[in-house]
Copies of this chain bind each other. A is one copy, B any other.
């Protein structure tokens, strides 16, 4: 059976770009992309997380029942990860979690460029919860809403790049982490533009899940 990449929001176009990134990151593994059709179209705050949790746990349970080798929860906020793990015997990892641990394994200090300012406390809290704050420069908002990444990719990419450049200039970092599953589609472009490594959580998770 395959690894299941669950997009816990209901925007199927995001699932497509996430799956493409995962498959490219670990070509020898088999991935399926599932969309959580009963969830909100984007997860941008605790109310969205609450609404997205029950259908997410239901999908993880289904994945387990169908013998999934591993599950990736493909939202950078790593919603309900502990509960999701209890629904499946296989490895269940988050894309935020994977990005932070990749940087930690390399010994890198990083900044995160995420979407809206409202997303900052959750990301900061997760990094603190994982125990990895010593690697954190700063969590920065690009002021690009999640869905703008789908709708006007070019403009969104430019704004993410600007904030990432500020992070490089000001935060004394070794790497930039892209703080939204939807940014998978601009990772390539950013790598040509930034002088430090760019970590994408989907890519990191797709590689980790196959070796855990």
Q: Count of chain A residues with Cβ under 8 Å from any Cβ of B?
A: 50
Instruction: Report which of B87, B109, B134 forms a contact with A50, defined as CB distance below 8 A.
Output: B87
Bound CA–CA A45/B86 (angstroms) = 9
B-chain residues with CB within 8 Å of residue A54 when the two chains form the complex: 53-54, 57-58
7 residue pairs A–B, Cβ–Cβ below 8 Å: A45-B86, A46-B86, A50-B57, A50-B87, A102-B212, A104-B130, A208-B208
A23 at the interface (CB under 8 A from B): no
> Closest residue of chain B to A85, judged by CB?
B107
A153 at the interface (CB under 8 A from B): no
Contact A211 B212 (CB under 8 A): no
Contact B128 A107 (CB under 8 A): no
Which residue, A48, A83, A109, A207, has most C-beta atoms of chain B within 10 A? A83
Report the stretch among A11-19, A114-122, A176-184 that lies at the interface.
A114-122
Contact B107 A81 (CB under 8 A): yes
Bound CA–CA A3/B191 (angstroms) = 25
Contact B50 A172 (CB under 8 A): no
Of residues 45 through 63 on chain A, the ones whose CB sits less than 8 Å from some CB of chain B are 45-50, 53-54, 57-58
Contact A50 B86 (CB under 8 A): yes
Q: How many copies does the complex hold?
A: 6
Of residues 93 through 112 on chain A, the ones whose CB sits less than 8 Å from some CB of chain B are 93, 97-98, 101-102, 104-107, 109
> Closest residue of chain B to A83, judged by CB?
B50
B-chain residues with CB within 8 Å of residue A210 when the two chains form the complex: 211
Report the minimum CB–CB distance from A112 to chain B (whole Å): 14
> Closest residue of chain B to A84, judged by CB?
B50
Instruction: Report which of B83, B101, B207 forms a contact with A46, defined as CB distance below 8 A.
Output: B83
Report the minimum CB–CB distance from A74 to chain B (whole Å): 15
Report the minimum CB–CB distance from A103 to chain B (whole Å): 10
Report the minimum CB–CB distance from A13 to chain B (whole Å): 25
Contact B97 A105 (CB under 8 A): yes
> Closest residue of chain B to A127, judged by CB?
B131
